Structure 1
Amino acid sequence: MITTTEIHDVKTATGLMRTTLYRPDIRGQFATIIFYSEIFQQTAPIARSAAILASHGFVVLVPEVFHELNPIGTVLAYDDAGKDKGNADKWAKPLEHHDSDTCALVDFARAQPFCSDKLGAMGVCIGGHLAYRAALNPDISGAFCLYPTDIHSNTLPCDVGNDSLTCTNDMKSELVMVFGKQDPHVSKEGRQLIYQKLEQANANFTWLEVNAQHAFMRDEGERYDAALALQMYLQAVAFFHRVLN
């Protein structure tokens, strides 16, 4: 399916958020996937991932996750300077601001004539965490979370008791959680903690651990695993067709 791309500056509670929209280049209404990026924002690999999802019949929104902290259009490089800046942004933005961003994206999607009323969330790295966080929003029907960081460690700023691990007790959306066993950012003990919390919350979730490193979906760099990435795209597409369509 051929796709088309648009740029929108979405109004949020904390300022304008540049959002790239990918959608099928045909008439109709389609379910929406909010696709949360890594700390580097919308890099070329993130854009390609979004286009893949859109080509399967979805509207895909890619927001600049740190829009308050950078000029509009900022993309960080996959180098030490980019990593340092992205991590600094990650530790500076409260989860509550990410929550209000999600609310703004839901409202934006539902105002578009080509969007149905169904929304899901997907993300990689911190974006996986933000997809998990978005699944707490009752307007999000399902979330596909790829190697989400900082859930187990509670290292992102937020109000006391509003961290994502604690809020798992309020999880209503269906989840798919995917982790690489060789990922140094989420240890075995960290994965077990998240799994136990989801079990205790009686959450509706699928759990996958694969032999892969962190960022195995990113089609640049030595950690990319093309075979596993293809499997994840197929599983994500099937998941979203089921929970959104």
Structure 2
Amino acid sequence: MIITKEVHDIDTPTGVMRTYVYRPDVAGQFSTIIFYSEIFQQTAPIARSAAILAGHGFVVLVPEVFHELNPIGTVLDYDDIGKDKGNADKFAKPLEHHDSDTQAMVDFARSQAYCTSKVAAMGVCIGGHLAYRAALNADISGAFCLYPTDIHSNTLPCEALNDSLTRTGDIAGEVALVFGKQDPHVSSEGRKVIYQKLEQEGVSFSWQEVNAQHAFMRDEGERYDAALALQMYLQAVAFFQRLLN
């Protein structure tokens, strides 16, 4: 399916959020996937991931996740400077601001003639956490979370008892979580904490642990696993087709 790309600046309670829109280049209405990036924002690998999803018949929104903290259009490099800046942003932005960003994107999608009313979320790394977090919103039908960080450790800023793990019971839709066993960011003990909480709260979820490192989806760098990445894209597409179509 041929796709087209647009850029929209969406108003949020914490400022303008540049959002990149990938969608089928044909007439009709399509369900929406909010695709949350790594700390580096919309890099080339993230753009390619969004294009793959859109090519399967979805509208894909890629927000600048730290729009309050950077000039519009900021993309951080995959180097120590970029990593340090991205991590600083991650610990500076309250989760509540991500919540209002998600609602702004839901409202945006539902105002577009080419979107249905159905919205889901997907993300990698911190974006995997933000997809999980988005699933706390009743308007989000489900979330596909790839190696989500900081859920188990409750290290991101938020109000008391408003961290994502504590609020797991508010997830109404279905979530899929994928972790790399060789990922140093989420240990085996950390994964168990998340799994047990999901079971305890009765959330509808699926769970995979694969032999891969952190960022195995990113098609730049030595940790990329092309075979696993292809499997995940196929699983994500099937997941969203079942939930949204």
Question: What range is the shorter-chain TM-score in?
Answer: over 0.9
Report SS of the residue matched to 2:137.
coil
In structure 1, what is the Cα distance between the partners aligned to 2:156 and 2:174? 23
AA of the residue aligned to 1:118 = K
Kindly state the Cα deviation for residue 174 of structure 1 after the two structures are TM-superposed: 0.1
Counterpart in the other structure of 1:108: 108
Q: What letter is aligned with 1:6?
A: E
SS of match in other structure, 2:178? strand
**2:182 matched residue in structure 1:** 182
Code of the residue aligned with 1:110 in structure 2: it is R
CA distance in 2, matches of 1:202, 1:50: 31
Unaligned runs of 5+ in 2: none
Shift, 1:20, TM fit: 0.2
Q: Secondary structure at the match of 1:164?
A: coil
1:142-180 per-residue CA deviation (whole Å, 9 max, x = no partner) reads 100000000000000000000000000211110000000
Provide the TM-score with structure 2 as the length reference: 1.00
Q: CA RMSD in A?
A: 0.3
Give 1:85's aligned residue: 85
Distance 1:25 1:143 in 2: 25
Alignment of 1:60-75 (within 5 A): 60-75=60-75
Shift of 1:140: 0.4
Partner SS state of residue 141, structure 1: strand
Report the counterpart of residue 204 of structure 2 in structure 1: 204
Misfit runs of 4+, over 6 Å? none
Partner SS state of residue 106, structure 1: helix
Structure 1 match to 2:149: 149
Identity of aligned residues (%): 80
> Any idea what SS the aligned residue of 2:186 has?
coil
The separation in 1 between residues aligned to 2:207 and 2:172, in whole angstroms, is 16
Distance 1:45 1:237 in 2: 18
- Give the alignment's TM-score, normalised by structure 1: 1.00
The count of residues paired between Structure 1 and Structure 2 equals: 245
1:23 aligns with 2:47: no
- The one-letter code of the counterpart of 2:181 is K
Give the secondary structure class of the aligned counterpart of 2:165.
helix
Return 5+ residue gaps in structure 1 as ranges: none
